[in-house]
Structure 1
């Protein structure tokens, strides 16, 4: 790829960006979608799609897959960045710091690209140990303004927050040891 096409495929979508989405087979689905602060967009039929930290092509692939069951043939979906969101301060960090503790294969701090999800982070630390309480995983996140910590529960077997939840700089993943008959 050269020039403008190469730059577009490397662009990482950010919160505040506005995506123009077109579905050739159903014009009623055409719209602009704002990337929310949590990094997601909402689209009819498909629901919530993670966009922040991903390329336009990756979002297009998710939307196409989500719409496919509603069409006789695979729909032609086009996604472009219609407007860049306002960037505050310096450029976004190249990496974020994530901490994993407890019953994971490699506990400790690691650097990751912005947009990494909870499940991707767990995979990055080698997954769970054999003693992990996979139904009681915690995502601990401190509010940058108040310093108050929020604890979000994640059940690897289903329930709680989604495994596709994007992580933020300073997030802590805590995996407790399972109880005797858990």
Structure 2
């Protein structure tokens, strides 16, 4: 009887795994989703990448890759193709969907969507109250991880005409009061980018 129970439990887990895999095979990527990208031949490329409002992700050595509307397998093939010129043979790329793009409500009325990309502890899309400042938003993302280049943080803002402005700042200067950009109120669609720290940076 015990063996039968163990067998049935294993069968259920296997079926759940198959169902999840099939869901990823047919799901179409959309802005706000977070993808886990891993390259067997070069682990320095491995990261979680946020799909930006324009439907693209940024991958080291591959540059920007359009992924919106693709399946996970199509993204894998596209990333592998773009990386191939950097390797003797086409690299072994694994892509998985780690977070859906449904914004996480923080509470309060009149919410707007902003995005965190790069070396923060909680990348992805999030909803915040209007009037939220840049410094408050960074706190909502759980702060920086150990790979963060805190001297080269970016705030990217796109106006109604489609023109993008990029504001670079040193987070340490903000904390020390030498830069007031931390008090900047965010706008809908703002993207906060925290690059990866360079060697010896």
TM-score, scaled relative to structure 2: 0.43
Greater helix share, 1 or 2? 2
TM-score, scaled relative to structure 1: 0.47
Tell which structure's C-alpha radius of gyration is larger.
Answer: 2
